[in-house]
Amino acid sequence: MAKIVNSEEFRSNVNEGLVVVDFFATWCGPCKMLAPVFEELSSEMDGKATFLKVDVDQCGDIAREYSISTIPTMIIFKNGEKQETMVGFLPKESIKSNIEKYL
């Protein structure tokens, strides 16, 4: 299950293995559409990747650090290094295939 994290938790969790981060806001319509897809992927890929959610309204420092100007935005990290950015609502299979490139 994807975990909503604060700035400190983000920094301590993003550095190990494959991590997919969903930058979202509670008021964002497309973010609400993406949420169940993100959860499904989190369950399906359990053990292969970690799935985190960052609320841009609560963690503005992280959003600024990664230049998040549009939400939802998903970033794939591998061992703390940013690998790929996906912006907007995308179909589940597109997201999954992007993640699998880094397994």
Residues annotated as catalytic are 28, 31
Per-residue tokens: 46 = 């359990």
Q: What angle do CA 69, 37, 16 make, to 5 degrees?
A: 70
Alpha carbons 66 and 71: distance in angstroms, whole number = 12
- Of 50, 31, 28, 32, give the one whose Cα is nearest residue 41: 50
Alpha carbons 95 and 16: distance in angstroms, whole number = 20
Q: Would you say 10 and 21 are in contact if contact means Cβ atoms under 8 Å apart?
A: yes
